[in-house]
Structure 1
Amino acid sequence: MDWFEEWFRRRPYSRFFWELDRALEEMFREFSTMMPREFFRERKLPDGSVERTFGPIIYGYSMTMGPDGKPQIRTFGNLRRGMPFPAPITHREPLVEVIPSKDEIRVAIELPGVKKEDIDLRVTEDRLTVSAERGEIKYYKEIELPARVDPKSADASYINGLLDITLKKLEERGPAGERVNIK
């Protein structure tokens, strides 16, 4: 025992800190038994020791205004909702913002930690699907678009973890068929 530890243990409050430390260790031990193994990582250091880390745990809410003027609240992250204990999701759901305008729809998707080459982007007339994978970082999201778009008009750029997609809207069709006057 070095002089600092000896001095610290002689202090009247040292027992309090010792008990607090013991309680925290016990709490972390219990916590680690409740959490899924997917959140724990081990890596061997150059000196031969093993470093154990936990996480990351990502969970949050995103609130935007829908096309009908009502707020839309979405969750994002790598945890399933409504579980008594967190259950990991293999693919994290990225934060998405859909911005409709008169002639086009702009979609901004946060994908930090991946490169442009890791992103797979697919567009249909009413849906956009994005997936990305780089090492342990995995994203997946299907986005229902507020209007029909021309998939061939898609233009996308990826800068500093932000994927920006612009899609031209298809012209609104009138009622199907030809109107017939009734005599």
Structure 2
Amino acid sequence: MSDDRKKKRRSFDDLFDEIDDLMKRFEEEFEDMERDFEDLLKNAPAKEGPYYYGVRVYVGPDGVPHIEQFGNIKKEGRGKVIISDETEPMVDVMERDDEVWVVADLPGVDKDQIKVSATERTVSIRAEGDKRKYSKEVELPAVVDPSSAKATFKNGVLEIKFKKLQGSKGSVNIKIE
């Protein structure tokens, strides 16, 4: 076997080792989160549910895996649990060539119960339905033109598209179509 094939073979094996290590780290993280969630509920103040707690795992633009929590259960400090009336929705932010998209899951509310405002670097989403309240401040990966926002809401999913910006505009409220 040539030296070049040995190098390729070895680097291919290294890739599998790296994937195996990453999967083991994810497994450990999920086990830790499961224990944390059980502790959260044990230490939670007496409050009638529903309780929402979830995690989203994604690889950021920097190539680093991230784990993001969402829901209405928060852990503050060492063992202190806060159960909020407001749920932090799961939100995806995607950057395209000249656009930034924000997609938020807001089940149980109507379009007219959602308030969205934006600056060049953040989007604020608030919604209050008969039984559900949502609140989330989202940091954007690029500077956007808030006045270019196009927002739609269908089947519990809010989608907002922004054009990227070179200058500065300020804060604007966004109408949902």
Q: Which bin holds the TM-score, normalised by the shorter protein?
A: 0.5 to 0.7
Change beyond 3 A, Cα 1:170–1:56: same
For residue 109 of structure 1, the aligned residue among 99, 104, 108 is 104
Whether 1:36 and 2:31 are equivalent positions in the alignment is no
159-168 or 64-73, larger mean C-alpha shift:
64-73
Q: TM-score, normalised by structure 2?
A: 0.65
1:100 aligns with 2:68: no
1:134 aligns with 2:129: yes
Superposed displacement of residue 80, structure 1: 1.1
- Per the normalisation by structure 1, the TM-score is 0.63
Q: Which residue of 1 aligns with 2:6?
A: none
1:77 aligns with 71
Where do 5+ consecutive residues of structure 2 fail to align? 1-40, 169-177
Cα pair distance change 1:33/1:108, threshold 3 Å: closer
Q: How does 1:113-128 map to 2 (within 5 A)?
A: 113-128=108-123
Q: How far apart, CA to CA, are the structure 2 residues paired with 1:77 and 1:100?
A: 24
Please say if 1:87 is aligned against 2:86. no
Alignment size in residue pairs: 127
Shift of 1:169: 0.5
Task: Measure the CA separation in 1 of the matches of 2:42 and 2:163.
Answer: 50
Computed over aligned residues only, the root mean square deviation of the Cα atoms, in angstroms, reads 2.3
User: For each residue in 1:143-169, what CA deviation from the matched residue of structure 2 results, as whole angstroms up to 9, or x when unmatched?
Assistant: 000000000000000000000110101
Determine the structure 2 residue equivalent to 1:60. Answer: 54
Check whether the contact 2:43–2:79 (CA below 8 A) recurs between aligned residues. no
Return the alpha-carbon distance in structure 2 between the equivalents of residues 110 and 162 of structure 1. 5
- Against the structure 1 CA distance between its residues 33 and 164, is the aligned structure 2 distance closer, same or farther, given a 3 Å change threshold? closer
Aligned counterparts of 2:125 and 2:50: Cα–Cα separation in 1: 22
Determine helix, strand or coil for the equivalent of 2:112: helix
Deviation at 1:79, TM superposition (A): 0.6
Whole-angstrom distance in 1 between the partners of 2:97 and 2:60: 15
Distance 1:133 1:57 in 2: 17
Unpaired runs of 5+ in structure 1?
1-31, 40-54, 174-183
In the alignment, what sits opposite 2:153? 158
CA contact (8 A) 1:126 1:144 kept: yes
CA distance in 2 between partners of 1:139 and 1:172 (Å): 31
